[in-house]
Amino acid sequence: MSLFSEYLQKLALIGSRNSADVDHNRKQVVNITYLLSMLVGTVSAMIFTAQGWLVESLLHWAGAGVSCIGFLLSIKGHSRSARVLFPFACALYVSLCTFLFYGSDSHFPWLLIILAAYSVAGFRVESGKEQLSVCWFALLVFAFNKLFAPLTTGYASKDVQLFVSLATFIAAMIMIVLITGVVVNKLRKLNEHLRYHAEVDDLTKVSNRRKVLAEAVNVFADAVISNQRCCFAILDLDHFKQINDCFGHEVGDRVLQRCAQTMQNAARRGDWVGRYGGEEFVMVLPNTRLQEAFEIMESLRVQIGDLRIYLDDQDAPIAVTTSVGVAEIKDNTLRYEQILARADAALYLAKKNGRNRVEMDLSE
């Protein structure tokens, strides 16, 4: 079932790859609905054909054909025509089958319930009148079939009606599940997209200030609860303003990206790297003592110093250095901001002592 659903979703994406994101979900719902309708019409037609009821099978072939036309309209860009066609085609198909072949006791009119899910997912959220109109239309057609269609027909024995009831339930359930799945999947991807942009710095692709400080709070709390050590480090790229002034902000952005990537590569499992602001970065090192953090930062400082960033119009590369301040949680530390403040003071000391160096906070 999952393989069929995956294949069906790929088919449903035809013609909607280049569409705007806001219309992508609706087009996919319309496409899936038409594909499933084609399947139902084709299977029904084949069953009637196998029974030798050729005239009766024509109606189901016609239904499959209309669904194919609607699908082609959708993938060719006639979205509104395809969207509006389906409720009328579905109502006509259900009514003709109920009156001519199955009878109202077969519960075939319940197939109209898919129009409720279709109206919600296939039309714009702001198109409340269209959604309500489709639902009312489905209700009226359902009532018409229940009131005026014969209870049974010459084609529909009790066994046939039972089979049609089960098939109707299965078809409606599959359509509703898949349509709902499209909406839920879209919401999940949208939520992931929003979360990514809320937590990741767009330029450097490391955590942004909000995210890395939130993780700093968590690491600090875990360290206090488990009576472990943790360290925070603040890194500042030396003379970064001169790079922007001499080579332009585009080159400055490239420098930030390369340095951030180096920090990410140097981070251990469980460490956090984030852009603190401008050319400043923060590294959060859980379960780490001060001397170990110093060695990690010293290694990172050397790696950044070894970077050579070449420009297209110059043979000489740009060299980058960084100053780092490191601080460790202490027994009297009450808030994570205190560690950051001590790391910042150590960073100031690194700059004061000539830059391109790592300084530890040794205050008591």
H runs (alpha helix) in the chain: 2-12, 21-50, 54-75, 79-97, 114-122, 128-148, 158-199, 209-226, 240-247, 249-266, 290-305, 336-352
User: Do 19 and 166 reside in the same domain of the chain?
Assistant: yes
For 175-227, how does the pLDDT look when each residue is reduced to its tens digit (9 = 90+)? 788 777 777 777 788 788 888 888 999 999 999 999 999 999 999 999 999 88
User: Do 250 and 182 reside in the same domain of the chain?
Assistant: no
For 128-165, how does the pLDDT look when each residue is reduced to its tens digit (9 = 90+)? 788 889 899 999 999 999 999 998 887 777 777 788 88
- Integer Cα distance of 359 and 348 in angstroms: 9
Q: Which amino acid is at 270?
A: G
Lowest-confidence pick of 176-180, 199-203, 276-280, 311-315: 311-315
- Say if 175 falls within a structural domain: yes
Last-in-domain residue among 141, 166, 196: 196
| Of 117 and 67, more confident | 67
- Say if 203 falls within a structural domain: no
Last-in-domain residue among 196, 220, 235: 196
The chain-wide mean pLDDT, for the chain, equals 86
Q: With 50 as the cut, is the pLDDT of residue 74 above it?
A: yes
Residue ranges making up the domain that contains 78: 2-196
Known catalytic residue: 250? no
The two three-digit tokens of residue 81, written as one number: 């025509």
The percent of residues above 70 in pLDDT, for the chain, comes to 91
User: Do 291 and 320 reside in the same domain of the chain?
Assistant: yes
Model pLDDT, residue 17: 47
User: Do 163 and 60 reside in the same domain of the chain?
Assistant: yes
CA angle 229, 235, 237 (to 5 degrees): 170
- Say if 201 falls within a structural domain: no
- Say if 180 falls within a structural domain: yes
CATH number at residue 338: 3.30.70.270
Q: Which residue has the tokens 């409606």?
A: 172
Q: With 90 as the cut, is the pLDDT of residue 57 above it?
A: no
Catalytic residue among 279, 292, 295, 328: 279
User: Do 167 and 312 reside in the same domain of the chain?
Assistant: no
Model pLDDT, residue 75: 85
User: Do 264 and 164 reside in the same domain of the chain?
Assistant: no
Model pLDDT, residue 79: 82
User: Do 259 and 291 reside in the same domain of the chain?
Assistant: yes
User: Do 176 and 220 reside in the same domain of the chain?
Assistant: no
Last-in-domain residue among 155, 170, 196: 196
Q: With 80 as the cut, is the pLDDT of residue 24 above it?
A: no
- Say if 141 falls within a structural domain: yes
User: Do 257 and 169 reside in the same domain of the chain?
Assistant: no
- Say if 19 falls within a structural domain: yes
User: Do 174 and 220 reside in the same domain of the chain?
Assistant: no
Lowest-confidence pick of 54-58, 210-214, 226-230, 261-265: 54-58
- Say if 204 falls within a structural domain: no
The two three-digit tokens of residue 325, written as one number: 């301040």
User: Do 6 and 152 reside in the same domain of the chain?
Assistant: yes
User: Do 137 and 255 reside in the same domain of the chain?
Assistant: no
Based on the structure, what is the number of domains in the chain? 2
